[in-house]
Structure 1
Amino acid sequence: MRNFWNTARKKLRKRKIFSCLILICFISTGISSIIPQGYAWDWPFLYPNSPAQNLLSLGNPPATLSTWVFYDELDLGQRGPTLIVRNPYTFAAAYQNCEDRKGQNYAREPEFIHGDDDCFVLYQDMRGTGDSNGGFDVFGSDWKDGYDLIQWLKNNAGFETWWYNGKIGSWGGSALGINQFCYAGENIPELIAQYIATASPEQYNHIAMEGGQMRYNLICTWTGGFNGGIEYVRDVVTQHPTKDSWWDKRSLMDLDMQGNINPSGHNRAQNVHASGVHVGGWDDVFSEGTITGYLEYNYYGSSSAQNHQILYMAPMGHGYPVSELSFPNWDSPPSGGDVGDLEEWLFQTEFYFDRGTSSYNSRWTAHDKVYYYVCSDPDISDSNVNKWRTVNSWPVYNVGQKWYFWPVQTSGMAT
């Protein structure tokens, strides 16, 4: 994923930002908190040597989650949209590693999107990772943690979250994308835009138990990088080999073993209000999940989500490129279809145009909805393959090729 995001990310401007360190305590009957402290850093900035505590405490079950707010110093006292980035890959360590700067890049990502109208980035280490405590439960609590984070944002607009203007987006790929699906199904009208890459909303079907068989290498290798991850898979996940109710908050809809959506079954997709860009690769481990996420949002989401989704399927795996293969013009989709362009267009449209207005509607009406690359042998010359195509719905309409076979004739040839 690192190479993919570094490739897709545009050059960022050199400006100063603030980081607000927040301590909030959520309880079932209300919220108590303290005024955040702040840091001003010159670009490029590093994680402070002795940071103040920046913990967010959420209940059910309780955990303290490290949460940071980034904003441009020129926006101090101004209101603007909020972009949520929830990450399991250790924010503090990313800042201490000057070569990676993953946390820095995530925090700065929206800078180039909005120009002088910068949004505010709410960055959180996921439960059991980074500076957040609680047990690592493989996305099991992200529906609640993400929901509670947004409720704090909404309920403190006149105090800690002085910048909040009622518009929220979320961003990220892989694990940063999977957890977005979890809280998107919690009926949050203010969550209006999501950029989700190489991820799936269906953790049973596409992540843990594809076809009813545990994806042992994938799930155990990945969770092995987190404290208690392997033990959680061994002691908890394996106790649910079928898609029982335990998976409900790890899923948006019912799928059969072939991956077909059952519209009359379990449906949290109807609670999704966000417009979205869904980025995937044909050779990605979550290729089917990316398409399923698009389908669930676009056809089964709320009225504000339906017909406000964009799907982008490239000749890639879980990042660029695909092994040693180099597909012709793989990085040159039709105008406006580059992942950076789609990201920029989505957040500009949702953050700075009001839903229901003619200007908002015309932007969505005029924009292509599906970008997909037709793969073949990279070395052949054929105008019908190894090229980008656009359509406005998925799946693509097609007529199957009919084949006719006859018994072998006396001559030994089929006719």
Structure 2
Amino acid sequence: MKSTQALRQLSIKFFCSAAVVALFVPVAASRSFAQFNIKTEMVPMRDGVRLATDVYFPESEKKMKRPTVLVRTPYGRVRMGAMLAPFFTSKNFIWIIQDTRGRNASEGVSSSFLDDADDGLDTLNWVTAQPWSNGKIGTAGVSAMGITQFTLAKNPPDSLVCQHVMAAPASLYHTAAYQGGALKRYLIFGWLLDNKFPLHTLQMMVSNTEYNGVWERIDLTPDYGRVNYTIMHMAGWYDMFLQGNLDAYVGIRKNGGPAARDTQLLVIGPWTHMGFLGLGGAKQGDLVYPVNSVYDIFKLPEWFQECLLGRDKGYLRGPKVRYYVMGDVDDPAAPGNEWRTADNWPVHDNAVPYYFHSDGSLSASLPGDAQAARSFVDDPANPVPSIGGANLMLPAGPRDQSPIEGRDDVLVFSTPVLSEPLEITGRIKAVVHFTTDVVDTDIAVRLTDVYPDGRSMLITDGFLRASSRESDRYRVPLKPGQTYQVEVDLWSTSIIINKGHKLRAVVSGSSFPRFDVNMHNGRLIDIRPEPLEEAAKSFRKYASTPQLPDDYKIANTTIHLSKDKPSHLLLPVPAR
């Protein structure tokens, strides 16, 4: 048996989905399961393209009609399917795993999710036409295999009874590709090129810089009303798709069909994407959480037993939301590091302003100075590096930001040492008043938990390309010298900052290579004229090196901190 470390390394290739699978192996080997039989089908789509599909049958009672659990994956069906089949066939399901279009043994050309709504529908219709199907289907998967589920949900057939979606967003544009209007450079280049998707998929991503009809094809948001079944949503506080996960839960509860609104469930843990569910251990980033942060993966088949077989496992009659409140990992007596339940998300709507002050302090007191401000110089040739956060192929999770906090192009605002714990649970926004001397610039805001030893551990962060401040469908240039007020979305968290700690906000004009560098010249993306084939040869070097055009500009940006223009955080602090 391979070591857990070797399996974790192997999991990187499979983009977390196989991280779950690979880390299953030592656990699965210790349990006995029913045997199964397998049949490979080439399932025809409406355009004649055939998709490689493995069907796993329980060995006993072969002629019995059964419900189906389906996974559609771009990462290769064979190894993943065989590893997970025992968990489902032993619970009386038919387990199906399919290579998506153009991937591995499937025919056609991959379009990176653009065909998955139609292909998913055609696959479900094929399943229900088989003599072994009882007409009930559930879908499952993490990351890309969660995205294929949400695209299917845009036009679901009646046979789709439930879904189990982990670490996946409803809208790829807003969460995965252009968060805050800025290209998530390392994620897009890294994932597409490392997984050897056709170059036209990368060209599609970087050429459709505004939200348009292309992105609408893979966005569930406008079609929440078509969802009329139960979904188990699972998200991680440090996951790169976190907010898109939460938005899907909130949107379907509010706008879904009548059978969906009260049957959406949500679980949020202290997990990164590659550390999802804690299956590789309780360490996330540079912090080690208690063992209670690790999710029991054997609950996954139980979910389908309830929604497909009608066996009461306590999910639908239990609390709608289960979330992990993070806390000080060094102090066993500190509050937090516990699971809580709620009837809905968000759990409250209380937003408390914490203001940035010119002396570097952060407090609930409104500034009194009429002219207070602080400035920084933003040089595209020397961007502020990304350290941790909601990443995939870059180091992820809670990591110490102190190496960047002493830079001249970074502004730091800290509370005094807390005399009592401070809980933050919900979505965080930063309202920033700024002036700059270029036609476009970026605002990056990081929120950190400062430990007594000086470590400034990242909680969450947000990013905004200023030209997208008015709309995601078009860009509006800045007028140099004019003051603007913008809102930066730092997404969501749940954490208790312990007494003896500080809360800190870190403001800059870049976070590279997580986000593309703004060249301040009015163009959204600057890619060297060499063909993208050059990027494919060494994507890590390409993705982590700014491509400086001849006309790039250095921005001089001022953040206003006055009574009339008070830049501040809006923190979801529960009312006492």
Question: How far off is 1:380 after superposition?
Answer: 2.9
Q: Distance in 2 between matches of 1:328 and 1:91?
A: 34
The alignment's C-alpha RMSD in Å is: 2.5
User: Equivalents in 1 of 2:294, 2:285: separation in Å?
Assistant: 19
Aligned to 2:344: 393
1:111 positional shift? 3.6
Asked if the contact 1:201/1:293 (under 8 Å) is kept, the reply is yes
- Which letter does structure 2 place at the counterpart of 1:368? P
Contact 1:193–1:346 (8 Å) recurs in 2 = no
In the alignment, which of 352, 365, 389 is matched to residue 404 of structure 1? 365
Rounded to whole Å, the distance in 2 between the matches of 1:276 and 1:401 is 32
Query: Residue deviations 1:223-273, cap 9 Å, x none?
Result: 113444333211x233321111222220011xxxxxxxxxxxxx2111112
Structure-1 residue corresponding to 2:307: 350
Q: Which structure's residues are more often helix, by fraction?
A: 1
Distance 1:187 1:384, change over 3 A: same
**Matched letter for residue 138 of structure 1:** S
Distance 1:363 1:110, change over 3 A: same
Q: How does 1:181-260 map to 2 (within 5 A)?
A: 181-234=150-203, 236-253=204-221
1:373 aligned onto 2:373: no
Counterparts of 1:212 and 1:187 in 2: how far apart (Å)?
30
Aligned partner of 2:253 among 294, 298, 310: 298
Q: Distance in 2 between matches of 1:210 and 1:316?
A: 20
Does the CA-based 8 Å contact 1:184-1:271 persist in structure 2?
A: yes
| Higher mean displacement: 5-14 or 241-250 | 5-14
CA distance in 2, matches of 1:228, 1:65: 17
How much does 1:80 deviate? 0.9
Identify the residue that residue 63 of structure 2 maps to in structure 1: 77
Matches within 5 A, 1:102-117: 102-111=80-89, 114=91
> Judging changes above 3 Å, is the alpha-carbon distance between structure 1 residues 209 and 194 closer, same or farther for their aligned structure 2 residues?
same
Match of 1:90 in 2: 76
SS in 2 for 1:89: coil
Aligned to 1:273: 228
| CA 1:269–1:191: 2 relative to 1, 3 Å | same
- CA deviations 1:174-201 (Å, max 9, x no partner) are 1111111001121322211111111112
In structure 1, distance between residues paired with 2:32 and 2:65:
21
Checking the alignment, whether the CA contact within 8 Å between 2:236 and 2:271 is kept in structure 1 is yes
Letter in 2 for 1:163: W
Taking the aligned partners of 1:232 and 1:383, their CA distance within structure 2 comes to: 47
Q: Does 1:21 align with 2:40?
A: yes
Structure 1 partner of 2:537 = none
- Cα gap change, 1:173/1:332 in structure 2, threshold over 3 Å: closer, same or farther? closer
User: Tell me, which stretches of 5 or more residues in structure 1 are unaligned?
Assistant: 23-54, 95-101, 254-266, 354-358, 409-415
Q: 1:44-76, CA deviations, whole angstroms, 9 ceiling, x for partnerless residues?
A: xxxxxxxxxxx222134x422101211112131
Counterpart position of 1:384 = 335
The structure with higher relative contact order (CA 8 Å, sep 6+) is 2
Counterpart CA distance in 2 for 1:376 and 1:397 is: 19
Query: Do the aligned partners of residues 212 and 199 (structure 1) sit closer, same or farther apart at CA in structure 2, a change above 3 Å counting?
Result: same
Rounded Cα–Cα distance in structure 1 between residues aligned with 2:98 and 2:368: 65
Q: Corresponding residue for 1:340?
A: 298
Q: Tell me the equivalent position of 1:52.
A: none
- Partner letter of residue 378 of structure 1? V
Q: Please tell me whether Structure 1 or Structure 2 has the larger radius of gyration of its CA atoms.
A: 2
Q: Cα distance, 1:5 vs. partner? A: 4.5
Structure 1 residue 295: Cα displacement = 1.7
Quick one: structure 1 residues 380 and 65, their matched pair in 2 at CA, closer, same or farther if it must change by over 3 Å? same
Q: Contact 2:43–2:52 at 8 Å: present in 1 too? A: yes
Corresponding residue for 1:285? 240
What residue number does 1:153 align with?
Answer: 127
Alpha-carbon separation, structure 1, partners of 2:305 and 2:326: 31
User: Structure 2: any 5+ residue segments left out of the alignment?
Assistant: 1-15, 354-363, 370-576
Aligned residue pair count: 333
Relative to the length of structure 2, the TM-score reads 0.54
What do residues 11-46 of structure 1 show as CA deviations (whole Å, max 9, x unaligned)? 353432111222xxxxxxxxxxxxxxxxxxxxxxxx
Q: 1:230 to 1:106 in 2, by over 3 A?
A: farther
How far apart in 2 are the matches of 1:395 and 1:297?
14
Relative to structure 1, is the Cα distance of residues 306 and 340 closer, same or farther in structure 2, using a 3 angstrom cutoff?
farther
State the percentage of identical aligned residues: 25
**How big is the shift at 1:401?**
4.4
Code of the residue aligned with 1:325 in structure 2: it is L
Structure richer in strand, relative to its length: 2
